[in-house]
Amino acid sequence: MNQQSPPGDAIGFDPRAERFSLSRAVFLFGVVFLLSYSLTPYSAAGKPIHWPQRISRLVEISPYAVGPVRDLVAHGLLLFIIGAAAGLSVRTTTGRWWMAGAIALLTLGIEGVQLFLPDRHAHVFDITAHWLGGGMGLAFGEAVHCRWPVANWSDKWITERTCRWLFAASLIGLTALLNRNAGQQSLESWDRAYPLLIGNESTLDRPWLGRLRLVAIYDRALSAKEVSRSFSAIESGDRTGAGPCIAFGLDASGRWTSWGESELIPSFGSDTDRLVTTDGLDFSSPRLLRTKSPPTELVERIVKHGAFSVEIYFSTDDLQQIGPARIVSISDGPVLRNFTLGQRWGGMEFRVRNGHTGRNGTLPRIFSRFDVLREGRWTHAVATYAPGVARVFIDGLPAARPLRYNALPIVAGLGEATWSDATAYTYRLAAGVVVTFPLAAIGFVAFRWSSRTRAFACLIAGILLAVGISWILQWLVAGSTPVWENAGWLVVGTTICWAAVSRFCVERA
């Protein structure tokens, strides 16, 4: 009896062919992931590129240049997976040699392009780890292909039911990925014993040089309208801010005044009698001011509300300050803090400690544009934090794209706030492709036997369901702001992935 052909645009399920399809999908996914991760700049306007230093660092043998050993292992493991998938995705030894050449050129190209990316660095050890991992992966794929022919295990393990279960598991994984930071944005990890510092760290190794007329801290996130009104009030001579919990600044008569639970005391510098002037606090030489006691009440209120704002009115003496140079922070040294607002080059850096960013508040952190400050010019800056989002304002206007902790790209914290719109959109699209590629590949294999059109509709419906569940969890459970645009990037990424898988990953026995 002849087998009836599948209707419409259906293809039919062939386990032996799907083994090659899945292998090619894994290979393509690994390449896309490697490109999107390795070619993401940490900042669009970081330290200028010095070519002699970059070239010499290619072969420099030091922990700073080489990086942690775990990074090299991770590089090698990723290329091992890509190489193994490449070895399993072609039928001939000649094809595997072509794959080996392609992997070698890919890794050389990635390291070469990193020479041109701000805050990214290439090294011969990375190239070596890539080549070793890729070569061992290809050898492993060749061994599997020769020792265990397709027919021995494809029929048993690659079935419609298996692929559908994998598809369902991938949807659950996508939902978890979109909510990876939703429950980690509270400020419960803040240390109540840290002092409030102005002008430096307690270790005296992060000095800021300039003048300061106002420091104000609020137990809520100021809105854009409130920031604009506060800037207008500052410009008109009102130094008191908009109802802060704690503040230090010049009053209407030009006298230095403090509001709140703690007073500032000078703790560094031989000429502290010259610190307070009629033009504000003079930090033209390294100095440190700190509260007499930790601002415990302020920290408790901020932790309770889960939000806060920091407002300063200042003038910088030097646009080459980095570190960042500490203007105001509640911290206990260079790597332990509740928050820090500081200067990096011609812009601002804002670090906040929560369950995701770590004790130093750096993963991720938000940068303003690096062209917003001028030497000797008085500047009004406000940094705000609310569950799910951090913002920086300069002179009443946004100076950075909001840092949304649940947003794509999934490698958040790579300086996205400093990117141009085109750069940000490019990497968010790349993140959408990376996140949805496994779903597209598994969904293609699991459902194409019935109808490609119907399978694509099911895939999009699954993506929207995962996004909808993540919105509910972020909004109602975690109390953070949902990132609505994630749905658009994921749908577009899914469409691209579906087209790529349909075109390049189809294998017929």
Alpha carbons within 13 A on the beta-carbon side of 58: 13
Q: How many CB atoms lie within 10 A of CB 292?
A: 12
User: Shortest CA distance to 27 belongs to which of 102, 108, 94?
Assistant: 102
Which residue among 339, 371, 404 closes a domain?
404
What the block records as the tokens of 404 is 């949304």
Domain that holds residue 452: 15-183+421-504
User: Shortest CA distance to 386 belongs to which of 299, 479, 247?
Assistant: 479
User: Shortest CA distance to 86 belongs to which of 101, 68, 99?
Assistant: 99
189 within some domain: no
190 within some domain: no
Rounded Cα–Cα distance for residues 18 and 29 (Å): 16
What H or E segment, with its residue span, contains residue 351?
A: strand 347-352
DSSP conformational letter for 274: G
Q: Indicate whether 258 and 167 sit together in one domain.
A: no
Determine the residue type at 417: A
Structure confidence at residue 353 (pLDDT): 93
Q: How many CB atoms lie within 10 A of CB 392?
A: 26
Q: Indicate whether 168 and 212 sit together in one domain.
A: no
Q: Indicate whether 172 and 204 sit together in one domain.
A: no
Which residue among 344, 377, 404 closes a domain?
404
Instruction: State the distance between the two ends of the chain, measured CA to CA, in whole angstroms.
Output: 22
Q: Indicate whether 242 and 215 sit together in one domain.
A: yes
Alpha carbons within 13 A on the beta-carbon side of 435: 30
Q: Indicate whether 346 and 427 sit together in one domain.
A: no
Rounded to the nearest 10°, the torsion over CA 290, 292, 293, 295 is -60
Rounded Cα–Cα distance for residues 333 and 203 (Å): 6
What H or E segment, with its residue span, contains residue 335?
A: none
| pLDDT tens, residue order, the chain (509 aa) | 444 444 444 445 555 566 666 677 777 777 877 777 676 665 544 455 555 665 666 656 555 444 556 667 777 888 888 888 888 777 777 777 888 888 888 888 877 777 777 666 677 777 888 888 888 888 888 777 666 655 455 555 566 677 778 778 878 887 877 776 666 678 989 999 999 999 999 898 899 999 998 899 999 999 999 999 999 888 776 655 556 777 777 666 666 677 766 667 666 554 556 677 777 888 988 888 888 889 898 999 999 998 999 999 999 999 999 889 999 999 998 999 999 999 988 999 999 998 878 889 887 788 888 889 999 999 999 999 998 789 999 999 999 888 877 666 554 444 555 566 666 677 777 777 777 777 777 777 666 655 667 778 878 888 888 888 877 777 766 556 666 777 788 888 888 887 877 776 655 44
What the block records as the tokens of 170 is 């991938």
Q: Indicate whether 238 and 94 sit together in one domain.
A: no
Rounded Cα–Cα distance for residues 448 and 163 (Å): 11
In 220-263, where do the E strands start and end? 246-250, 256-259
Q: Which residue has the tokens 């090659």?
A: 20
What the block records as the tokens of 229 is 């009104």
Rounded Cα–Cα distance for residues 291 and 261 (Å): 9
DSSP conformational letter for 241: -
Q: How many CB atoms lie within 10 A of CB 153?
A: 14
pTM summary value: 0.71
Q: Which residues pair with 344 in a beta bridge?
A: 347
Q: How many domains does the chain have?
A: 2
Q: Indicate whether 243 and 375 sit together in one domain.
A: yes
Q: Indicate whether 153 and 230 sit together in one domain.
A: no
Structure confidence at residue 10 (pLDDT): 46
| Beta carbons of 188 and 335 less than 8 angstroms apart | no
User: The dihedral of CA 282, 302, 372, 334: what is its sign?
Assistant: positive
119 within some domain: yes
Q: Which residues pair with 102 in a beta bridge?
A: none
9 within some domain: no
Cβ neighbours of residue 93 closer than 8 Å, sequence gap 6 or more: 142
Cβ neighbours of residue 144 closer than 8 Å, sequence gap 6 or more: 84, 87, 88
497 within some domain: yes
- Quickly list H helices, 321-420: none
Which residue among 404, 436, 468 closes a domain?
404
The burial class, CB within 10 Å (0-12 / 13-18 / 19+), for 177 is: middle
What the block records as the tokens of 178 is 């979109």
Give the orientation angle of helix 421-447 with respect to helix 15-38, to 10 degrees: 170
Q: Indicate whether 152 and 222 sit together in one domain.
A: no
Q: How many CB atoms lie within 10 A of CB 380?
A: 22
Q: Which residues pair with 266 in a beta bridge?
A: 289
Q: Indicate whether 25 and 94 sit together in one domain.
A: yes
Q: Indicate whether 331 and 427 sit together in one domain.
A: no
347 within some domain: yes
- Do strands 325-331 and 337-344 pair parallel, antiparallel, or not at all (unpaired)? antiparallel
Structure confidence at residue 309 (pLDDT): 96
Q: Indicate whether 113 and 157 sit together in one domain.
A: yes
Q: How many CB atoms lie within 10 A of CB 472?
A: 12
